[in-house]
Amino acid sequence: MKIKKDIQYNGKTYNFISDDSRDAIKHPNVLFVHTKQNTSFVDQIKTQNLDILQARDLKKYFKMTPKIIGITGTNGKTTTAAIIYSILLDMGYKVALLGTRGFFANDKEIKPKGLTTPSILELYEDIQYASVLECEYFVMEVSSHAIEQDRIEGLEFVAKILTNITSDHLDYHKTLEEYIRVKNSFFTDEGIKIINRDENKALYNPINTYSYALNSKANLCVNAYSPKQGIQAHISWKENLRENNCKETFINSPLYGVHNLYNILAAITCIKILTQKPLENIAEALENFGGVSGRMEVISESPLIIVDFAHTHDGMKQIFESFKSKNISVVFGAGGDRDKTKRPKMGECAASYAQKLYITSDNPRSEDPQSIIEDILKGIPEHLSHSITTIVDRKKAIQKAIDDLDNEDVLLILGKGDETYQIIGTQKIDFDDRKIIRDYLNKSKKGIK
């Protein structure tokens, strides 16, 4: 990537920086930036006697005034980041947010969605833009890919948050052990860390560590909660676990699910530590957060139809646990050209909770959609096979599930969330689960409320 940047380096003036060696070789006004991913091209740059800027030194040449908050974990990054962003804005701070949904600053969209964590040059450019907008905080999602590829090299985080560690991206990391190692490597320093104490895979430097939990001793604990109609909870805060005194308050949120209670706790812990504002003020600002598009998004209340991005068996389990008192219908598939080991696990998880399964396509990419469905079916034991329908066409699968929906059922449509496309072969076609649902409900006798 090449970006515009006037820079004085090694006695020379450059107008651009790039992590592509070809840019630096062809154009004398482009300074080459050495990153972990382009290491194999460094010798080529050296033979040309060209200057090399190390990625870790980028911070010397960019305006980096916001306090950077980094969130990683298998699930919950997007929602936790959005909660922090929303609360800080409501409390009067200028804030930027970067992640799966795009780049936002001070309640305005700056860029549409892209990678969870962009390339290092784009990331530094975004932080500088937030600096120009006088943002005090920069909230960002940090993917396992970004950690392993050093795409956050040189950044100084005022706080790092761990939501959870389950299983994902094994097509890239190869083993669960390596994926766990990469996630935990984000928490080895002595800076402020905010850890989910109920996550038994978490390994971290205990210095300057704060915690939140439902079931373990932590700085932010839940004394009682109800996740049935939104989330209501009584929480207590101790900045020092050895203290007897604690601060207590109630929280109310329209979000669904215990997993979102964890996301809320992570956000509150972070904001409490960084701002030292009263707990009740933070809880009050939380009430204004209505959720993230495509994350437990209620498309219809009667019948109850919810869309979510969950695309791993653990993510699905968290959604299902929120509706154990209802009959569950679920539409889902699995992405092609990605980790195949999770497919049977997703099938088993869905059959363990749902009474009606509609297994369909997600983003099949170059794979045969039917073969992906067969992989999912392999994980469903015969004794768990309730009503299973397989339809390759995702639109038809959604419509069929709506037709079969009873009044007391909840229909969960999982995997794509707020994505507005489907990747079939090499084509990226317009496709939005939410639009499909709304259009079909408006045409059908079920209506929409």
For the beta carbon of residue 403, count every other beta carbon within 10 angstroms.
11
Provide CATH 3.90.190.20 ranges for the chain: 297-443
Dihedral of alpha carbons 104, 309, 184, 179, sign: negative
Q: Are 434 and 422 in contact (CB under 8 A)?
A: no
Q: Mean of the pLDDT values across residues 16-35?
A: 97
**What pLDDT was estimated at residue 325?**
83
What is the dihedral angle through the alpha carbons of 124, 128, 131, 132, rounded to the nearest 10 degrees? Answer: -160
Q: What percent of the chain has pLDDT over 90?
A: 86
The stretch 360-374 carries a mean pLDDT of 97
Q: Find the range with the poorest average confidence among 77-86, 160-169, 220-229, 322-331.
A: 160-169
pLDDT value at 133 more than 70: yes
Pairing of strands 102-105, 157-162: unpaired
Q: What is the pLDDT of residues 161-179, one digit of tens each?
A: 999 998 665 666 678 899 9
CB count, 10 Å around CB of 284?
A: 17
Q: Say what the pLDDT of residue 170 is.
A: 61
pLDDT number for residue 228: 74
pLDDT (0 to 100) of residue 64: 96
Q: What one-character-per-residue DSSP string does 20-80 give?
A: -HHHHHH-TTEEEEE-GGGGGGHHHHHHTT--EEEGGGGGGTS---SEEEEEE-SS-HHHH
Q: With 60 as the cut, is the pLDDT of residue 448 above it?
A: no
Residue 273: Cβ within 10 Å count: 18
Distance CA 224, CA 170 (A): 36
Does 438 have pLDDT greater than 90? yes
- Site of tokens 């869905």: 350
Q: Is the pLDDT reported for residue 120 higher than 60?
A: yes
Residue pLDDT, tens place only, 58-68: 999 999 999 99
What sections of 118-257 are H helices per DSSP? Answer: 120-132, 144-148, 170-173, 176-185
What's the confidence (pLDDT) of residue 408? 85
CATH number of 297-443: 3.90.190.20
Q: What does DSSP say about strands 2-9 and 304-308: parallel, antiparallel, or unpaired? A: unpaired
CATH code at 67-286: 3.40.1190.10
Question: Which residues is 209 bridged to in the sheet?
Answer: 193
Check: CB of residue 78 under 8 Å from CB of residue 296.
no
User: Which pLDDT belongs to residue 447?
Assistant: 57
Query: In degrees to the nearest 10, what's the CA dihedral of 395, 357, 434, 111?
Result: -100
pLDDT score recorded for residue 242: 87
Task: Taking residues 79-84, report their average pLDDT.
Answer: 97
Q: What percent of the chain has pLDDT over 70?
A: 97
From the list 162, 160, 181, the residue with the least C-alpha distance to 170 is: 181
Q: What contacts 399, CB < 8 A, 6 or more positions away?
A: 436, 440
| Separation between Cα atoms, residue 250 and residue 224, nearest integer Å | 10
* Predicted local confidence at residue 174, as pLDDT: 72
What's the confidence (pLDDT) of residue 227?
77
Q: Are 161 and 76 in contact (CB under 8 A)?
A: no
Instruction: Give yes or no for a contact between 100 and 116, defined as CB atoms under 8 angstroms apart.
Output: yes
Where does the pLDDT of residue 384 fall: very low under 50, low under 70, confident under 90, or very high at 90 and above?
A: confident
What are the C-alpha distances in Å from 203 to residues 61, 158, 186, 329, 393? 33, 19, 10, 37, 42
3-state secondary structure of 154: coil
Amino acid at 442: N
Looking at residue 116, its pLDDT comes to 78
- pLDDT beyond 70 at 432: yes
The string of pLDDT tens digits covering residues 250-270 is: 999 999 889 999 999 999 999
Q: What does the DSSP assignment read for 88-142?
A: HHHTT--EEEEETTEEEETTEEEE----SS--HHHHHHHHHHHHHTT-SEEEEE-
Residue range(s) in the chain whose domain bears CATH number 3.40.1190.10: 67-286
More confident residue, 74 or 437: 437
Give residue 401's pLDDT band: very low, low, confident or very high (50, 70, 90).
very high
Interatomic CA distance for residues 337 and 57, integer angstroms: 36
Q: Does the pLDDT of residue 220 top 80, yes or no?
A: yes
Residue-level pLDDT at 449: 52
In whole angstroms, what is the distance from residue 40 CA to residue 33 CA? 13
Per-residue pLDDT band for 445 (boundaries 50, 70, 90) equals: low
Beta bridge partners of 92: none
